[in-house]
Amino acid sequence: MLVFVPFAFSGICTGELSEIRDSLGDFQGEDIQVLAISCDPMYSIRAWVDTEGYFFPVLSDFWPHGAVASAYGVFHEGIGAATRGTFLVDRSGVIRWALVNPPGERRDFAGYREALEALR
């Protein structure tokens, strides 16, 4: 599962990744790995991960700035960050489920849980 977040230390992003952290069994297992991605520099992300205790990879898409977010169609040029894109990608690289929320709109992970159950 790829979880694009706009900004480290922002309220909504912290809340979303904390939900994943607190319910990691729902999001990660033998056949699935959570990867959060932000366009922030790796030093900001490292401080955020250490502060919040995230025990899953949080990756930097800082340089070339937003290249991964752009490849998934979720880079927002106006703010220089990813929008809230969530993608369930299978081992072959096929996107099996996607949810994209605009900045400022918290995502609901219920659909992810349903999509994951349908794939199991």
Report how far residue 101's alpha carbon sits from residue 84's, in angstroms, rounded to the nearest whole number: 5
In the residue annotation, 39 being an active-site residue is answered as no
CA distances (Å), origin 3, targets 58, 93: 9, 15
Residue in this structure with the two tokens 């809340």, named with its chain if needed: 15
- Catalogue the long-range contacts made by 56-60 (C-beta closer than 8 Å, 24 or more residues apart): 56/20, 56/21, 56/24, 56/27, 56/28, 57/33, 58/17, 59/35
Catalytic residue among 1, 13, 20, 88: 13
Active-site residue set: 13
